[in-house]
Structure formats: structure tokens, C-alpha cells
Amino acid sequence: MLSRETAALMLVDVQGKLARTMTEPDRLIQNLATLIQGAQALSLPIFWIEQYPQGLGPTHSELQRLLDGVKRYEKMSFGVGGDPELMSDLAVSGRHQLLLCGIESHVCVYQSAAQLLQAGFEVDVVVDGVDARTPLNRRLGLERMQRLGAHLTSVEMALFELTERCDDPAFKSILSLVK
């Protein structure tokens, strides 16, 4: 099970030009906003990654606003494992459970999951927090990550799993986010 003491959120490449080409961009942004706010309510570290922002543009403005004060990592490799600074900061954080979300499920999210699993991390892919330009590629990315050993979860499932109890001080915040 996910634990607040060992989990972190990893947001991969939800950037302007590319984000608008997803199969369900509005749903994706809404779900990611809920996930980010939930992670913040639960005091989870957030790792915010952008792929070549000079070409793809910045993170979607709605998400960027929620990430004020969070360190942003720029990468050129498709997977996050190719960024030494990010991997070093991740190791220093002591977090070994990663809630992985972003785009695209069959490229950057998939390659990130593969590299993180290979490095010994537990990866929980947030199914309603990933997308691709085609439904087929979205599905193939999810299937491949699951075959590699990633767990599949949803925004609501992950947030309630991390909250654990209805008498938890964060419960009301989480409940208001998912309603």
C-alpha cells in the first residue's frame, strides 16, 4: 500500500503544445490538478518534470499555478532516469513509492516507469492521470508498464489510500477535492 512516509508524486511533461493534443485534455488537466492538490494536502514531495520546454512549451498554466514553489526539472531524455540531478534528488528524498502521471503514456511515462522500476522504485501509474494522442497508445503504454511491474491506480484511489482513515486531518481536504 502507498504510504505518506514513502510516497512522492512525479508529474511528467504535461506541457502546453503537447497537452492540447491528448485524447481528453480537459479531463487530464482536471485530474492532475486534483492529484497535485491532494499530494500537497498530504505533504507529499512533488517531482515536476518538463521535456525540452524550449520546444514543447511550459507546463499547462493551470498546473503550473498549483506548482508554485516546487522545483522543476528539465530533461532531454524521454525517461526521467536519464536526468542525474532528478535521480540524485529522488534518492536523497528517501521516497521509494512513486505516483507517476503525465504524458504521453507510451513514451515518456512508459520509459520513466521502466527506468524507475529498474532502479528499484515501486511505481504506481495513475491511470486517469496519463494520456496519449491516441487511445491505442494510451492503452499500450499502460499495459506495458503493468507487465513491467508497475501498479495501476486512479487519482481517487491513490489519495484515499494515502489518507487511510476518515479521522485523518487531511480527509476533509481530500474529500472536497474528489467530489
Catalytic residue ranges: 13, 75, 108
142: how many CB neighbours lie within 10 A of its CB?
A: 21
Determine the Cα–Cα distance for residues 35 and 107; give it in Å rounded to an integer.
Answer: 21
Q: With left for phi above 0 and alpha for psi between -120 and 50, is residue 85 left, alpha or beta?
A: alpha
Determine the Cα–Cα distance for residues 142 and 125; give it in Å rounded to an integer.
Answer: 8
Query: What strands, in cross-sheet order, belong to the sheet with 7-12?
Result: 72-75, 46-51, 7-12, 97-103, 122-131, 151-153
Determine the Cα–Cα distance for residues 161 and 179; give it in Å rounded to an integer.
Answer: 16
Are 10 and 99 in contact by the 8 Å Cβ rule? The answer is yes
Residue 15 is given by DSSP the state B
